Structure 1
């Protein structure tokens, strides 16, 4: 976890839901029902706005919706090749691991999702499940982000903004499909998690049992196994009776 998720709302709706301004500037990806590593995704950040000279105003913060690339690349990385292996960061070690600790202290974000997919091991196959809120609201997955500077022939350097989802030990019904799950932030934790002046989020790294208990977990078609499939029906529930069992397909690891 978490190797795939769904992001279905447009930037205007997400900005309103997360009390943010839409700063995607027309670069936002469209609805994606099978978000995979290294794709462009939407994330919420809160920063001090800068003046014309680039100086931040410490007295004001602004929450905004941004476009990032899923798969964190530390600023000191030589290239982007390791991004697909860094889509998730373990909450238990995020404050200590060199690849993540600077971002965890200074650059935290929320990655909105309609829900995420998980695969339950079985005999000869893995059954995918979709986990989402049962009230239609977005999940607020705790994330971290980083800036990597890519050489550019025209601009000299181009900023590549990348992110990762924090994961924790699964709790409640989530343990029936996988031993890990994303760290989901309740609304009353959003401000503290995004606070750019707070460098110690250790008190926010535990799951909220009430929030997790309100999630719906349903089996879905193995069509989601292929990243080439990207339609709303990937999120639709299926029957697991013997007569309706879908044919197994090769699971593409992410």
Structure 2
């Protein structure tokens, strides 16, 4: 499961010619942190500040996000946490510069980072939700995952065993198609990212700050 990643930088934003992000965000995201989500509206591509981890309408508090930051594509219509979002086609992407997974070396987990070789940001498929708890409006999202037992890179991560998962990467060329998709059937997007375009390496964990630096802090 992907529980930690770095959002895109200002430099990557400009290369992709995406709209400016109208709010600050942290350099490294964990469950229940705020992040920039890209979605399609009647006005075109827009950014929304959302929490990492889906908070469904029936949840009593936001702590559920610690369990709902990843969603298996195979069971989206079966899980109470995600059925509303997938049924209403609330598709978005989380643009990232790098995401992290655990690789077990000598039965001990090491944090490894996965990134594009060309340094560009890439889009992770997501669902988003909006709900209200008391007077608070809560916007949240989850990353959609797929089976990765046969993926040349992602099968090397997670605990030893036959359960391997990967985020779903939306190709740059299919971004608007995904954001405007109007069906709960997303199988045409469920495919492993091309290994020849990505690389991975050991990235020891550094304590992240919860404060929100200015966006250009990590350009």
Superposition pairs for residues 166-185 of structure 1, below 5 Å? 166-170=144-148, 171-178=151-158, 179-185=164-170
- 1:189 alignment partner, SS class: helix
Higher relative contact order (CA 8 A, sep 6+): 2
For 1:113, which of 84, 88, 96 is the aligned residue? 96
Number of aligned residue pairs:
203
Aligned residues: CA RMSD = 2.4
Moved over 4 A (4+): 226-230
Residue 4 in structure 1 maps to residue 15 in structure 2: no
The 5 A counterparts of 1:99-178 are: 99-105=81-87, 106-123=89-106, 125-151=108-134, 157-170=135-148, 171-178=151-158
**Superposed displacement of residue 148, structure 1:** 1.9
| Distance in 1 separating the partners of 2:19 and 2:97 | 19
Does residue 28 (structure 1) correspond to residue 24 (structure 2)? The answer is: yes
C-alpha contact 2:12 2:120 (8 A) present in aligned 1? no
Measured against aligned partners, the alpha-carbon deviations of 1:105-128 in whole angstroms (never above 9, x if no partner) come to 321100011111111123352111
Q: In structure 2, do the counterparts of structure 1 residues 15 and 99 end up closer, same or farther at CA, with 3 Å as the change threshold?
A: farther
Look at both structures and tell me which one has the larger radius of gyration over its CA atoms. Answer: 1
SS at match of 1:21: coil
CA shift in 2, pair 1:15/1:96, >3 Å: farther
Deviation at 1:205, TM superposition (A): 3.9
Correspondence for 2:180: 195
The residue aligned with 2:216 is none
- What is the TM-score normalised by the length of structure 2? 0.82
Correspondences of 1:183-222 after superposition (within 5 Å): 183-195=168-180, 198-209=182-193, 211-221=194-204
Q: Aligned to 2:153, what secondary structure does the other structure show?
A: helix
Alpha-carbon displacement from aligned partner over 1:28-55 (angstroms, at most 9, x marks no partner)? 314x1x311111101101123xxxxxxx
Aligned to 1:93: 75
Equivalent-residue separation in structure 2 for 1:44 and 1:71 (angstroms): 16
CA offset digits 1:210-241 (Å, max 9, x no partner) = x34311011122x34x44599xxxxxxxxxxx
List runs of 5+ in structure 1 lacking aligned partners.
49-60, 152-156, 231-254
TM-score by length of 1: 0.72
Q: Secondary structure at the match of 1:35?
A: coil
Kept in 2, the 8 Å contact 1:15–1:64? The answer is no
